[in-house]
Chains A and B, each alone.
Chain A
Amino acid sequence: MANAKEIRTKIGSIQNTQKITKAMEMVAASKMRKAKARMQAARPYADKMHVVVSHLAQAHPEYHHAYLAEREVSRVGFIIISTDRGLCGGLNTNLFKTVVKAMGEWRDKGAEIDLCLVGSKAQSFFKRLGGNVVAHASHLGDAPALNDLIGTIKVMLDAYNEGEIDRLFLVHNEFINTMTQQAGVSQLLPVESADLEELKHYWDYIYEPDAKEVLDALMVRYIESLVYRGVVENLACEQSARMVAMKAASDNAGTLIDDLQLIYNKARQAAITQELSEIVSGAAAV
């Protein structure tokens, strides 16, 4: 019966694991709902920013903001948004694969790379891989505040203003639906004119105090809102990826338990048969 007992303990421990993964799945599901709502909530601001920036960029051809001008690339910056915690399937791995590929392409062109990391998974990855990390933010929690990102973004914007980097990219997971997340690299700076909306007919704002100052303030906020959106979207991705991964884990635990149960039953039956035949042969001997 030793064998049967061993199997029973194993089943018990797998059942415990299954309970944990099930609980995590449910937690992730409810957090995902909240993260999605937060993603929606951030949208009006970003959309409005986009419209105003598009307008400003086109209404003022004489004032060319540094964020709109293309320049020769000798150094690029990446803002990489990862999760703080693991157990979310291949989410981070896919992201890092995309990043390393994009970085490789720029290295081939002879550009150097500065990194700005959000999330502790990116930090541990690049600590192993190496790379010039200039700014870092982590443990933003389930409700990330823009406040915690301002400094991190400013490091990169300052570097761009001072000409240390000539291009800035944002890398994060895009939320397509609950089952699918796509790692994507998008260009933050210079702002691509293709991204901007076409001006239908010419009109202009009154600016207070003046166009230049308003545009300067607006551009920084525009970039910040894009990064913030990336962070919030990545969070929704994290939760949904975790939900899916935990569901798969619970299902796997279920099949494992079924298999073990079968083996256990067989072992138990074999033991009973053996015992019976022992008794019968014992009785025959007497």
Chain B
Amino acid sequence: MAMTLHVDIVSAEEEIFSGTATMVFAPAVMGEVGITPRHTPLLTRLKPGEVRVRTREGEEIFFYVSGGMLEVQPHVVTVLSDTAIRAKDLDEAAATAAKEKAEKAMADQKSDFEYAQAQIELAQALAQLSTLRKIRDHTGR
């Protein structure tokens, strides 16, 4: 019997995949890595991209991850997937939005508040768009 790995792909919100595999490919920040059983312990960050799991039957299952962490133990591979696209500026925008929301909520002016909310949402959408574009340029997709 071929040696196998146990693979868990989890995000903060749910378990995405759990099962056995003969090999796992993941988009690490320094290039794609292929993990076979008895790999030495490894911890790396992931870029947005595809995680491929090759099962015992030889078929490949694809998962899209928007970044995260990869933890490798000799017989266990865990992908801690991010649920969202993370980038410094994107996080920054979210933080500013949360701050502004607090200020507005405490002042409580309904119409202004909704206007600001819309503005924030617009800013967020724009920021997300730019990241997506960056990612697309980067991966050539």
Contact = CB atoms under 8 A, between A and B. Distances in A.
B92 to A, nearest CB: 8
Interface residues of A, number: 44
A168 to B, nearest CB: 15
A214 B29 CA distance: 11
A146 B43 CA distance: 23
Nearest to B41: A205
B105 interface: yes
Interface residues of B, number: 39
A234 interface: no
Nearest to B31: A208
Contacts of B84: 145-147, 150
Nearest to A131: B106
Main secondary structure on chain A at its contact with chain B?
Answer: helix
Interface in B60-113: 69, 71-72, 78, 80, 82-84, 86, 91-99, 101-102, 105-106, 108
A143 B94 CA distance: 19
Interface of A: 38, 41-42, 44-46, 48-49, 52, 56, 116-117, 123, 127, 133-138, 145-147, 150-152, 154-155, 158, 203-209, 213-214, 217-218, 221, 224-225, 228
Nearest to A203: B41
Among B8, B15, B43, B96, the most chain A Cβ lie within 10 Å of the Cβ of: B43
18 contacts: A44-B15, A45-B13, A48-B8, A123-B106, A134-B102, A135-B98, A135-B102, A137-B98, A145-B83, A146-B83, A151-B97, A154-B91, A154-B92, A206-B41, A206-B43, A207-B42, A208-B43, A224-B12
B10 A48 contact: yes
B36 interface: no
Interface in B1-53: 8, 10-15, 28-30, 40-45
A217 B94 contact: no
B12 A225 contact: yes
A147 B11 CA distance: 12
